[in-house]
Amino acid sequence: MRRPLPFRQASRAFVAALLLGACLGVAAQTPQQHVHSMAHEVMPFDMSKTLHVFRMTETGGVMRVVARDDQASEQIALIRQHLRHEAMQFQAGSYADPATLHGAGMPGLKEIQAGAASIKVAYEALPLGASITFETRDLHLLTALHRWFGAQLSEHGADARAE
């Protein structure tokens, strides 16, 4: 069995790894940069041409994705296609796409997946995109949904806002 490194050694190892990465030209990404670089693997639309809007409610929340340009019919169609698919996946208990984009350890995600049967998920087409509404009566899941929304809001950076 391997013994954990004492704090001082672990700190030195961490600093050494950072320095090695810097010497090799590997720059650390912010969460926002990571989401932008990985978005194309999960979302078919262009993140820079859309806005994610998160509204927490007393029973869950509403996630909207809308095109920034009301004439961007291709982006609007891609948003609708993606959110319709995601809503079906979420209702079935699969949150694989957010885990791929944000990481499996994202706040609230494990609780939401475990309690998916107690969360009602609904899709709605909107003039500039689409929305997914999440509703639950379970306070533990409500808190998890709010934590999950907060994490997405933070990691999408300038391409997201709260309502």
In a domain, 90, yes or no: yes
Q: How many domains does the chain have?
A: 1
Q: Which of the two residues, 123 and 40, has the higher pLDDT score?
A: 123
Give the structural domain span for 98: 30-162
Interval 4-62: pLDDT, tens: 544 444 445 444 444 544 455 545 666 555 555 555 556 667 878 999 999 999 999 99
Q: What per-residue confidence (pLDDT) applies to 78?
A: 94
Residue with tokens 């869950």: 60
- Give the orientation angle of helix 31-42 with respect to helix 139-156, to 10 degrees: 100
88 falls within a domain = yes
Instruction: Tell me the pLDDT tens digit for each residue of 100-113.
Output: 665 667 899 999 99
At 106 the pLDDT is 84
Looking at every residue in the chain, the average pLDDT score rounds to 81
Domain-located, residue 7: no
Q: Is the pTM of this model over 0.95?
A: no
Note the pLDDT of residue 160.
82
| pLDDT tens, position by position, 57-100 | 999 999 999 999 999 999 999 999 999 999 999 999 998 877 66
Q: Is residue 9 part of a domain?
A: no
Q: So what's the pLDDT on residue 35?
A: 53
Q: How far apart are the first and last CA of the chain?
A: 50
Residue 20, domain member (yes or no): no
Say if 141 falls within a structural domain.
yes
Place of tokens 């609904």: 122
Contacts of residue 28, Cβ cutoff 8 Å, sequence gap at least 6:
18, 21
